[in-house]
Structure 1
Amino acid sequence: MYTHLLIATDGSELAEKGVSHGLALASRIGAAVTFVNITEPFPVFAWGGAMVGFIAGDELAAYEENGRQFAKELLDRCKASADGLGVRSKGLHIENRKPAEAILELSASEACDLIVMASHGRRGLGRLLLGSQTAEVLSFTETPVLVVR
């Protein structure tokens, strides 16, 4: 049924439930897995004033390096978990993208037939203010999505 799962993770406790659930499913059905971690664009709106170019340049470099290091450690852990279950996997880090957009593009380019991601299940004002990457993926994908809460 499913042969290639895309499992999105931000390293949070909730996302780890999605990783575990996706890996258990992949192990049972013999599917391959692509793990993805996405680093969102640097929040330039937080900076202002005459020194913005100088300060933001250093902060941007640190932000990008921290994102790469975090993603490497996270994806290495995911790969080790997959290896322990005998699941073929790879990890990808995508920089400077909104998570939903990156997940949608990656699921198509990697020919994934199931997207696995976690959701807090926020409603109302909380969802409006915080946004929901899961809701956006659900709204725009043609690929089945398994949402773990």
Structure 2
Amino acid sequence: MYKRILVPTDGSEITQRAVATAVTLAKQFGAEVFTLSVKDPYPYSAMSEMQPTLPQEFLDAQERVAAKNVSAVKDACAAQGVACTGHTVESVSVWEAIVDYAKQHQVDLIVMASHGRRGVQALLLGSETNRVLTHSTVPVLVVR
């Protein structure tokens, strides 16, 4: 049924539940898992004379965190004998990076976590998962 499953990761505890679900589905369907961690670009507009972090230090730290998140998903896949491909990308828009990645890699299912925000908090903070649901052309499985 599904052959290419994307599971975006930010390393959070709830994302780990989405990873476990994606790995289980991949194992059942004989699918390959793709994982993606989106890095923030350097906030150049916030630069001042007293910038606490140099651009390269910031970018290196972002890459270390993103690579660690991707590595955790790859390890979870390897433990279950599931093939996994992982990438990190830089983007100001997490949901757009996820939707674009899904198109580029021809995934047929996206498995994402939802942080379960409701009411005013959800309206103010927005939801990357909700935006992916709204803009994705492939099915999205939301794990809570």
TM over 0.5: yes
Query: Which protein is richer in helix relative to its size?
Result: 1
CA distance in 2, matches of 1:48, 1:64: 14
What TM-score comes out, normalization by structure 2 length? 0.92
2:114 to 102, 119, 124: 119
- Tell me, what secondary structure is at the counterpart of 1:67? helix
* Structure 1: runs of 5 or more not aligned: none
- Structure 1 position 124, deviation (Å): 2.1
- Tell me, what secondary structure is at the counterpart of 1:120? coil
Do 1:44 and 1:56's aligned partners in 2 also have CA atoms closer than 8 Å?
no
- Structure 1 position 61, deviation (Å): 2.1
Letter matched to residue 118 of structure 2? R
Q: Report matched runs for 1:38-49 at 5 Å.
A: 38-44=38-44, 47=46, 49=48
Q: Report matched runs for 1:20-39 at 5 Å.
A: 20-39=20-39
- Structure 1 position 56, deviation (Å): 6.6
- Tell me, what secondary structure is at the counterpart of 1:121? coil
- Structure 1 position 48, deviation (Å): 6.1
* Structure 2: runs of 5 or more not aligned: none
Letter matched to residue 5 of structure 2? L
- Tell me, what secondary structure is at the counterpart of 2:68? helix
What TM-score comes out, normalization by structure 1 length? 0.89
Q: CA RMSD in A?
A: 1.7
State the partner residue of 2:67: 72
- Structure 1 position 92, deviation (Å): 0.5
- Structure 1 position 123, deviation (Å): 2.0
Do 2:11 and 2:69's aligned partners in 1 also have CA atoms closer than 8 Å?
yes
Percentage of pairs with the same residue: 35
